[in-house]
Structure 1
């Protein structure tokens, strides 16, 4: 490692490299600041913006396919029919339990309890993050449903029958926001990369299970839950990174003053 560090330092001190560093000093300084882990406008914000753009782009692509009837919608219908004809009574009961455990009113109760706990601990940053991310994201999902007005899958013998719109999936949005904000809270407070990986690898299957339950039960298409996941990730990133950046900026100003 020491030899590699010396070699890199030697390469950076070569005349040609020094000339390029001097010529693009402003751009390199900006890039270095964006990748700095110690600044509130550094690595945290850079990664957040990248995730926000990526998730928004993914949602835009899915939404375009839904509106224009692109091949993704054909996969939607095929998968819905395939799962419906192969439904197993035991698995159906299990999926019903998973789905009902993540109904909006259930999430509302859990979010209220979590908010009261954060209020008791006077953790204003995460209290605001939870309240803005989860209830705000669910409200955004309702507005999107009204905007797209996509009908739900239909079957001759449905397991569940819902009259609300289908895209994007509210359960996928709610699960992503709820488990996502808890995972973000734990990851930020954990220094071990092993524990951080365990937290993320535990969160993803939970969200996937909730999303799959909605497709399996025949109340959502695949694109509904994928779109719900994408918009929830974008909204969650905007809330968490935005709030943390604002609080850190405020703290930096108070320290400087």
Structure 2
């Protein structure tokens, strides 16, 4: 991602130098931020498209079929697993994982940078999820709930925060100087966790599959947007001249 941004910035500087004798050195960064914003808006348009079809018969059919398929696998063993996984994707689960990751990052890098970045990603994801739930106002499934829930249904807060938090962790892992085997293993575990948290909400009867899809899309939008902005900030600080 950083190499791509550097290439874009260099090309923008080259183009600007051809057409403008003098220009503000911040201009290439402003243009890149605008491009990032366009990508962000495009992603949200995809999210809105899905939202507009929430009441369609086609989506209702898919929701029903997928939910029935997942619920058919209910058993004591799977129920224990998915209750555990859904708790990992809840407040106390994130508090524990977040604290451990922050301490680990500080111990290795002697900096709170990654702590602040993850904080921002989570605040954006949680804040927008609360807002979206209130705006869309979709009720929970009427099926049996195996865990208690109090908020509205769409988009899934568990799916959205799992994608935002663990998705951003996946990005950080790809940047760390680790052995390929260890890196691949960590990424595989995090991907499995993201998928398991989403499936757990369907299995436990508290979400429609489309709630999970919407949560994943919204969470991924924030991850991509934040990665672009964080990298731009890093490049800008080091600039002269890239």
TM-score by length of 1: 0.70
More off after superposition, 72-81 vs 190-199: 190-199
Structure 2 vs 1, CA of residues 219 and 105 (structure 1 numbering), >3 Å: closer, same or farther? same
Structure 2 residue 120 is the aligned partner of structure 1 residue 132: yes
Q: Is the 8 A contact 1:65 1:73 kept in 2?
A: no
Structure 2 vs 1, CA of residues 203 and 150 (structure 1 numbering), >3 Å: closer, same or farther? same
More off after superposition, 52-61 vs 127-136: 52-61
**CA distances 1:87-112 after superposition (whole Å, capped 9, x unpaired):** 22221122111111221232033223
Q: Secondary structure at the match of 1:153?
A: coil
What residue number does 2:212 align with? Answer: 225
Structure 2 vs 1, CA of residues 165 and 30 (structure 1 numbering), >3 Å: closer, same or farther? closer
What residue number does 1:183 align with? Answer: 170
Q: Secondary structure at the match of 1:154?
A: coil
CA–CA distance in structure 2, aligned partners of residues 51 and 186 of structure 1:
23
- Mapping of 1:103-114 within 5 angstroms? 103-114=90-101
Q: Secondary structure at the match of 2:130?
A: helix
CA–CA distance in structure 2, aligned partners of residues 30 and 90 of structure 1:
50
Greater relative contact order (Cα 8 A, min sep 6): structure 1 or 2? 2
Q: Secondary structure at the match of 1:141?
A: helix
Q: Count matched residues.
A: 218
**CA distances 1:118-137 after superposition (whole Å, capped 9, x unpaired):** 45544354232111012331
Structure 2 vs 1, CA of residues 47 and 87 (structure 1 numbering), >3 Å: closer, same or farther? farther
- Mapping of 1:167-246 within 5 angstroms? 167-190=154-177, 200-246=187-233
What residue number does 1:249 align with? Answer: 236
- Mapping of 1:80-91 within 5 angstroms? 80-91=67-78
CA–CA distance in structure 1, aligned partners of residues 39 and 81 of structure 2:
33
CA–CA distance in structure 2, aligned partners of residues 55 and 201 of structure 1:
25
What residue number does 2:81 align with? Answer: 94
- Mapping of 1:16-31 within 5 angstroms? none
More off after superposition, 82-91 vs 231-240: 82-91
Q: Unmatched 5+ residue regions in structure 1?
A: 1-28, 35-39
More off after superposition, 230-239 vs 109-118: 109-118
Structure 2 vs 1, CA of residues 224 and 46 (structure 1 numbering), >3 Å: closer, same or farther? same
Structure 2 vs 1, CA of residues 131 and 207 (structure 1 numbering), >3 Å: closer, same or farther? same
Q: Is the 8 A contact 1:152 1:219 kept in 2?
A: yes
Task: Give the C-alpha shift of residue 49 in structure 1.
Answer: 7.2
CA–CA distance in structure 2, aligned partners of residues 190 and 47 of structure 1:
29
More off after superposition, 228-237 vs 47-56: 47-56
Structure 2 residue 43 is the aligned partner of structure 1 residue 65: no
What residue number does 1:154 align with? Answer: 142
Q: Unmatched 5+ residue regions in structure 2?
A: 1-6, 13-27
